Structure 1
Amino acid sequence: IMDDQKPMDFKEFQELTGAKRVSMARPDDLQEQLGSHAGVVSPFGLMNSEEHNIKVYFDQDMLAEDPILTFHPNVNTHTIFIKTTDLMKFIKEQGYAPEIIDL
């Protein structure tokens, strides 16, 4: 999870996380894994993941800038403003251990 204004360096992400062949998720995978589609993906989709096979990473810059973050609530017609601490609590309650990395 990173600021939408920051470009994603897939090679750097792979080096930081040890992930292999990183790419943007296909629409079918987004729907199956998160119950979402491109343009609406947010941490709130984690509650739709039945397999819990998703790793959650935050770019540290995003967390350092503001204690309030904004996300779509699985639809792009609304926006939720949420404290960073509350978002982390939500993610952990969904069964995930978010990692903070420096992209």
Structure 2
Amino acid sequence: MDITERLSFFAALYKVHEQPEVGMWLLYLTITALSVLVYKLGFAKKLPLGKSIIIYIFLILGSTMLTFLGIFLPVAEGLVVAALILIIYKIRLWQSKKTRTEAN
């Protein structure tokens, strides 16, 4: 069995099997950026600076573990889908608030 057949989309895109160091860093940065985006779109609240820093530190540490899983499992792809769903939700929420204020 060829290992390239089992790689996830982003792992294959970044050629983790050919350039493991660069590919893993790119996969890590992708997963971290998508995790931050999903957090900001879906779960972030106004917090003091110290608490926000702690949350982002744990988010970055969690992304490290997700990167190793993301080689063969669709972790980054799932984060892309979650981000798209949350973006659509935010746009619809913004549109409904806009129509409510125009109706008043």
TM > 0.5 between the two?
Answer: no
Rg (Cα) greater in structure: 2
Answer 1 or 2: higher relative contact order, Cα 8 Å, separation at least 6. Answer: 2
**Higher fraction of strand:** 1
